[in-house]
Amino acid sequence: MQRKTIAPRAPHNAPEPPAKVKPNKNKRPEWILVKVEQNATYTEVMGKIRKDVNPDTTGRKVLGVKQTRSGDILLKLGRGSNMTVFTAEVGNAVLGLGQVKKEKRKATLEKRDMDSEATEEEVRAAIGGAFRKPDNVRRVTLLKPNTRGLRMATVILSEKERPRNRSTLCYKCEGDDHRMAQCQMKASCFFCKDDGQKK
């Protein structure tokens, strides 16, 4: 006969092991910006949107509404299929009272340890050369030199222009918003990305 091994009991006041932190798989929600005209108010435009826009017909759900400092309206949208239909319906509802603009996502690029004599034009030229197209529309902010005489520049880019984050790069489809374990694409060759090759 074999003896049963008895596992030692944990005392009642023993700390619980820390819970594993799961990565957030939800993507950021989309926003629509409604610019309110000078002759209209926030309440008039919101009343018109609530009255005329039906989320059931468009397939989009409004998760939240915020008023900006300038008095405009930000509509936080849930997942759905018809973004263009919803945007058009909101645009028709606020016709004459405001304009609808789709909020573009932006990313911040930081350039550190620059010379204290660096100018904004030099930063723009370097960024234009790195992206292979000169653009004076990007917003560049050059901070004052620190105690060591080094400066830092921040550049606001669109989400499509930003450099890829290599830590979250998927090696299966080369997307940068997920890893290979969460990838929904079918398997392809690691080197040339062709299907049907032997592994």
What pTM does this model have? 0.47
Pairwise CA distance, residues 193 & 130, whole Å = 26
> Which segment of 82-86, 153-157, 166-170 scores lowest on mean pLDDT?
166-170
With CA atoms as reference, report the closest residue to 78 among 100, 59, 97, 102.
59
Pairwise CA distance, residues 190 & 199, whole Å = 9
The label of the residue with tokens 């050059």 reads 142
Superfamily of domain 30-103 in CATH is ACT domain (3.30.70.260)
Average pLDDT over residues 163-177: 65
106-158 CATH:
3.30.70.330
The pair of structure tokens assigned to 179 is 């890893």
Domain boundaries, the chain: 30-103, 106-158, 164-190
pLDDT-above-90 percentage for the chain: 8
pLDDT at residue 25, rounded to an integer: 62
155 pairs with which residues across the strands? 109, 140
In 27-142 the beta strands, taken as DSSP E runs, fall at 30-36, 62-67, 73-77, 98-102, 106-115, 139-142
The pair of structure tokens assigned to 152 is 């830092």
Model confidence pLDDT, tens digit, residues 13-38? 777 777 776 666 666 677 888 999 98
Identical fold, 30-103 and 106-158: yes
